[in-house]
Structure 1
Amino acid sequence: MKSLIRLYINSYKGLSPAAWLLALVMLINRTGSMVIPFLGLYMSAELGFSKPQIGIVLGCFGLGAVFGSWLGGWLTDRFGSFKVQMWSLFGVIPIFLILPTFKTFEGLAIMIFLLSLVSDVFRPANSVSVARYAKPENITRAYSLNRMAVNLGFSIGPALGGFLAGFSYNWIFYGNAIGASIAVIVFIYFFRNRAPKSNLQDVQIKQTAEEKTTERSPYKDGLFLIFSVFCCLFSMAFFQLLGTLSLFYKEVHSLNTSQIGLLLGFSGFVIVLFEMVLVHLVEHRFSVRQIMFWGTAIAGISYLMLTLDFGIGWLFFAMFLLSTGEMLTLPFTATVAIQRAGRRNQGAYMGLNSLSFAMAHIVAAYIGTYIAEHHGYSTLWLITGSTLICCGFGFYWIIGKLKST
């Protein structure tokens, strides 16, 4: 027991105060993220939208995320991560407040696109801040801490949103505005005069590599573009967790909403409990390419397991493996991106990294539901699992190439 406690303490040791403060801002901000989990229900029950209309509006959210990720990276390199994060947090507040007044399909689609655009500008800037405030040897754990805050926020947010929806759907939007307001106040208070503690040059492996990448655009970096394609393919497969997986639980296993919520919540619980410890154990024992290969492969195996039916315990075990694969893969994608960047184009590299995941959001749900409807869930899980395993080999190959240039 003592060794386990010591392991937990060591996994958090060495993280800078700024890394903890950035995670706190992210936790507050994501706790206020109540709109998206209830947006489909709001459009159906409150506004009477059809399923195709709901799908288009949700697609607008993904499209806004794509443009926001690119714009956030561009703005960060020109104005700095502090200003971009501050104005993104400020910008979403009035959008959340006026959203309930838009009740037509066209109006809501435009506003959801705008909301996603402004909110996702925050992501690349925040990723750059994590890298600049973290100690070079702790960058991956700093990203893991941020992800833990995101997962904890997303666990609290929907529960709080469900409570507010009991009074009125409008209060979900107002709750998001309040969360963003608190986040921006905390962010400005702690970071307005705080200087970065680390320099990107410290985390570059070779000085020659740093010189090559300082001025290079990630959109002209062929090897990094290939890496981003693998990130997008990984996300398209992995994000079946957010859409078709819950339909599978309901239609194939006849689980009720409480059971489905428990299964999906179990994923966040596992990540919050184990990610920091797991990353601490593996980051200095194995190479990034080894970790990402096994993480992606484990996620693929978890989906292949869904072609078999051994009861709800089997589903929980598959979810545990999927969460393990996520913990071994996603934190290191940001590490690869920030180590590939130069001092003056960190925002662009992190923006492209965010964009590769945002692109997947647009098509993942549609592709998953189409395959499930026309070819069955077993075919979907075979394709999803095989895609993830192939991505594992792809990550292993391309990261080796990135390290050598």
Structure 2
Amino acid sequence: MKALVRLYINSYKGLSPAAWLLALVMLINRTGSMVIPFLGIYMSSELGFSKTQIGLVLGCFGLGSVAGSWLGGWLTDRFGNFKVQSWSLVLVIPLFLILPLFRSFEGLAGMIFILTLVADTFRPANSVSVARYAKPENITRAYSLNRMAVNLGFSIGPALGGFLATFSYNWIFYGNAIAASIAVVVFIYFFRNKKGNSQYTHQETKKSSEQQTIPERNAYRDGLFIGFNFFCFLFSMAFFQLITTLPLFYRDVHQLDSSQIGLLLGFSGFVIVLFEMVLIHLIENRMTVRQIMLMGTAIAAASYYMLNFDFGMIWLFLAMLVLSTGEMLTLPFTATISIQRAGKNNQGAYMGFNSLAFAAANIFSPYLGTYIAEHFGYNVLWTTTGTVLLVVSIAFYWIISKMNFVHKAHELG
């Protein structure tokens, strides 16, 4: 027991106070993420939209996320991560407050696009700030801490949203506005005059002086990085079946009710919050980045193959545990690879491009997943999803070696 406690303490040791504060801001902000899980229900029961209209509005959410990811990266390189994060949090407050006033299909679709565009400019800026304030040797664990805050917030937010919806769906939007208000106050208070990590700054200065004759890459013309992001897009296309077709599979095939489905999905967040930091701490000194990405993506593939077999509820929980393990091994390192690939003055563009790869999957993943399930069955969907992830695992291993990430994960700094 003492060894386990010591392992947990060591997994968090060395993280800077700023990394913890950024995670706190993310936790507060994502706790307010209660609109999206209930948006489809709101449009159906409250506004009477058809399934086609609901799908198009959710498509606008995906488009706004793509545009926001690109814009956030562009703005971060020009105005800095602090200003972009602050203005993103400030501007979404009135947007959430007025959103209930837009009840027509056209009006709501346009507002969801604008809201998501503004909200997702926050993501690349936040990723850059994590790198700025983290110690170089702890950068992957700093990203893991941020992801832990996101998952904890997503676990709390829907539960809180469900409670508020019993009074009125409008309160879901107001709850998001309140959370964003608290997050921006905390963020500005702690970070308005805060400098980046001196060790990181010194390293960037040294790197710049050593490579001053070499122009920085353009994120959108960097062939290897374009390939890496394409594989991230394919990964997320497959992985995001978790939040689109998997709940339908639980309902249609296993006849689970809403509470059981919520328990299974919540189990994923619980596993990540409890184990991700420890897992990263255990492997980052033992494996290279490409080995970790290969293993993590292959494990995620195995979890979808498992869904082709029916051994009861315990098997579903085991498959979710395997999928969560693959997620924990893969997603923190996509951010680390992106920030390390960037130069000193274009980190926003690189993080924005990487965020865009994941955001773009939100547009296509729901349609393709439901189409395959409806026309060919869930077994074909899970076999296809697992195979895509297996191919991507090999592709990650290949392209990361080309990008020269062949050292141990903890040596990335």
Q: After the TM superposition, which residues 4-403 of structure 1 pair with which residues of structure 2 at under 5 Å, given as runs?
A: 4-197=4-197, 198-199=199-200, 202=203, 215-403=216-404
Under a length normalisation based on structure 2, what TM-score does the superposition of the two structures give? 0.96
Per the TM alignment, residue 24 of structure 1 is displaced from its structure 2 partner at its CA by 0.2
Answer whether contact 1:201 1:210 (CA < 8 A) is retained.
Answer: no
For 1:82 and 1:127, the matched residues in 2 are separated by: 11
- CA separation of 1:210 and 1:326: change in aligned 2, threshold 3 A: farther
For 2:23 and 2:214, the matched residues in 1 are separated by: 28
Q: CA RMSD in A?
A: 1.7
The amino acid of 2:17's aligned partner reads: P
For 1:381 and 1:209, the matched residues in 2 are separated by: 48
Q: Secondary structure at the match of 1:307?
A: coil
Answer whether contact 2:290 2:405 (CA < 8 A) is retained.
Answer: no
The amino acid of 2:332's aligned partner reads: P
Answer whether contact 2:288 2:405 (CA < 8 A) is retained.
Answer: no
The amino acid of 1:355's aligned partner reads: L
For 2:243 and 2:206, the matched residues in 1 are separated by: 36
The amino acid of 1:177's aligned partner reads: A
Per the TM alignment, residue 211 of structure 1 is displaced from its structure 2 partner at its CA by 5.4
For 2:245 and 2:231, the matched residues in 1 are separated by: 21
Per the TM alignment, residue 215 of structure 1 is displaced from its structure 2 partner at its CA by 2.2
Per the TM alignment, residue 359 of structure 1 is displaced from its structure 2 partner at its CA by 0.4
Answer whether contact 2:204 2:344 (CA < 8 A) is retained.
Answer: no
The amino acid of 1:296's aligned partner reads: T
Bigger mean CA deviation after superposition, 212-221 or 349-358: 212-221
The amino acid of 2:354's aligned partner reads: N
Answer whether contact 1:124 1:347 (CA < 8 A) is retained.
Answer: yes
Per the TM alignment, residue 118 of structure 1 is displaced from its structure 2 partner at its CA by 0.2
- CA separation of 1:178 and 1:129: change in aligned 2, threshold 3 A: same
For 1:228 and 1:205, the matched residues in 2 are separated by: 28
The C-alpha deviation readout for 1:33-81, integer Å capped at 9, x for no partner, is 1100000000000000000000000010000000000000000000000
Per the TM alignment, residue 209 of structure 1 is displaced from its structure 2 partner at its CA by 9.1
Q: Secondary structure at the match of 2:343?
A: coil
The amino acid of 1:290's aligned partner reads: Q
Answer whether contact 1:213 1:341 (CA < 8 A) is retained.
Answer: no
Q: Secondary structure at the match of 2:220?
A: helix
Per the TM alignment, residue 210 of structure 1 is displaced from its structure 2 partner at its CA by 5.7
Q: Secondary structure at the match of 1:255?
A: coil
For 1:260 and 1:79, the matched residues in 2 are separated by: 43
Q: Secondary structure at the match of 1:137?
A: helix
Q: Secondary structure at the match of 1:199?
A: helix
Per the TM alignment, residue 169 of structure 1 is displaced from its structure 2 partner at its CA by 0.3
The amino acid of 2:105's aligned partner reads: F
Answer whether contact 1:214 1:342 (CA < 8 A) is retained.
Answer: no
- In structure 2, runs of 5+ residues without a counterpart are 407-413
The amino acid of 1:126's aligned partner reads: N
The amino acid of 2:264's aligned partner reads: L
The C-alpha deviation readout for 1:227-276, integer Å capped at 9, x for no partner, is 00000000000000011000000001111111100000000000000000
Per the TM alignment, residue 283 of structure 1 is displaced from its structure 2 partner at its CA by 1.0
Q: Secondary structure at the match of 1:77?
A: helix
Task: Report sequence identity in percent.
Answer: 74
Per the TM alignment, residue 202 of structure 1 is displaced from its structure 2 partner at its CA by 2.9
- CA separation of 1:361 and 1:209: change in aligned 2, threshold 3 A: farther
For 1:371 and 1:208, the matched residues in 2 are separated by: 53
Answer whether contact 1:214 1:341 (CA < 8 A) is retained.
Answer: no
Answer whether contact 1:131 1:200 (CA < 8 A) is retained.
Answer: no
Answer whether contact 2:131 2:139 (CA < 8 A) is retained.
Answer: yes
- In structure 1, runs of 5+ residues without a counterpart are none
Answer whether contact 2:64 2:114 (CA < 8 A) is retained.
Answer: yes
- CA separation of 1:252 and 1:10: change in aligned 2, threshold 3 A: same
For 1:240 and 1:14, the matched residues in 2 are separated by: 35
The amino acid of 2:172's aligned partner reads: I
The amino acid of 2:168's aligned partner reads: S
The C-alpha deviation readout for 1:102-140, integer Å capped at 9, x for no partner, is 000000000000010000000000000000100000000
For 2:285 and 2:233, the matched residues in 1 are separated by: 26
Under a length normalisation based on structure 1, what TM-score does the superposition of the two structures give? 0.98
